[in-house]
Amino acid sequence: MVKLVLIRHGQSEWNLKNLFTGWTDVELSPNGVKEAHEAGKLLKEKGYSFDVAFSSTLKRANHTMDFVLEEMGETSIPKHYSWRLNERHYGALQGLNKADAAKKWGDEQVHIWRRSADVPPLALTKEDERWPGNQEKYKELIAKGEMTIEDCPLTECLIDTAKRVKPYFDEKIAPFIHEGKKVLIAAHGNSLRAIVMMLEHLTPEQIISVEIPTGKPLVYELDEKTLKVLDKYYL
């Protein structure tokens, strides 16, 4: 048996402002910083340690990982970053206040965009500055061969997010688990829901009701050979 720990980043500045965030690279709020440090203290108190850590390319998840490892005295372990662990891209909703969006398109439509597994929000155009293909960070990743221009989403639903998370989990993360390594993944609500969906073999209908709170370590006890879930719990 091996333990895999998932943690959603602490509260971000845009979580606090009730804005659709997606791939927008915002900082943690002061409360989010506190959540991350408290998670690290709790993990240390419970006797956890890690061999390797994974995160997205977004600083709210990166800083959460850093603060957790700082509290645990494990800042020197290998860390890996990938756009595939980024939050779901909210398309034309990114940057909008959720209440304002509901006034514009209606509560029911916004609820469908937010909570259905297979209905993406309105798409951006490639001329929009919010499209990752126009942003330096992703231009650099494309130049390095770590992603392609086709990988830059105009919008995403949860199923789209899961399609990019799964190959990264299978190829980069799962091998460490099979070796019995202790893995930490600090990412986002929807990229982590994609992992939960894979581990628990949930249907799109079942994953809709799954919520992952900010800053709370979620532990999966797995069979290291098959990745069968033996137990799961929040600390």
- Cα separation, 215 vs 175, in Å, equals 26
- pLDDT of res. 209: 87
pLDDT in tens, 11-40: 999 998 999 999 999 999 999 999 999 999
- Give the chain's mean pLDDT: 96
Phi, psi of 37, rounded to the nearest 5 degrees: -65, -40
- pLDDT of res. 114: 86
User: Residues 155-163: what's their mean pLDDT?
Assistant: 97
Phi, psi of 124, rounded to the nearest 5 degrees: -75, 170
What the block records as the tokens of 135 is: 């942003």
The SS3 assignment for 234 reads: strand
pLDDT in tens, 51-95: 999 999 999 999 999 999 999 999 999 999 999 999 999 999 999
> At 90, which amino acid appears?
Y
- Cα separation, 230 vs 235, in Å, equals 16
Catalytic residue (choose from 74, 87, 89, 156): 87
- pLDDT of res. 116: 87
pLDDT in tens, 116-154: 899 999 999 999 999 999 999 999 999 999 999 999 999
What CATH number should be reported for the domain whose range is 2-89+156-234? 3.40.50.1240
Share above pLDDT 70 across residues of the chain, in percent, rounded to a whole number: 100
Would you say residue 49 has pLDDT above 90? yes
9 annotated active-site:
yes
87 annotated active-site:
yes
User: Residues 171-192: what's their mean pLDDT?
Assistant: 97
